[in-house]
Amino acid sequence: MTVDHRTPEALAPSPIELRARELAALLAQSHNIPADVHSLPSGKVVVSVYYGLVARLDDACRFWWVVPVSAGRERPLWTSAATPDAAALRIAGHYEELRARPLVHLIHGGYLLTDVLMEHHEAAAPV
């Protein structure tokens, strides 16, 4: 049996993680969209919503994600929201747009959670 000697304060979620959890809860309660919160080894936090739809939080607790490619736009577009309410509302629209597409196309050309995890894992790995 191992004992964790960290203080309760060190074990508590960071403000960024709490903000991410707030977004995930809003997506679930208000939009019936499941989302997972992931704390990365680099200390960054992401909210995984769907294939190709991953929101990152910056140090100011602002949400950033890539808007999927659409008929009127040929390239992905980075966008952001300052509050969990605004992010949930906009992400819900992008979620519906992505759910309407064949999954194989999203996997083939999407920006997946594994891309984010690998990017932050490599950044946090010792040299």
**Rounded to 10 degrees, what is the CA torsion of 120, 105, 88, 73?**
100
Report the first-to-last Cα separation within the chain, whole angstroms: 31
Give the separation between CA 84 and CA 15, rounded to whole angstroms: 13
Residue 18: the pLDDT is 94
Structure tokens at 23: 């977004």
Q: How far out from the chain centre does Cα 88 lie?
A: 11
Q: Work out the mean pLDDT of the chain and round it to a whole number.
A: 79
pLDDT digits (tens, 9 = 90+) for 62-116: 999 987 766 676 777 788 999 999 999 999 998 998 888 777 666 665 545 445 5
Residue 124: the pLDDT is 44
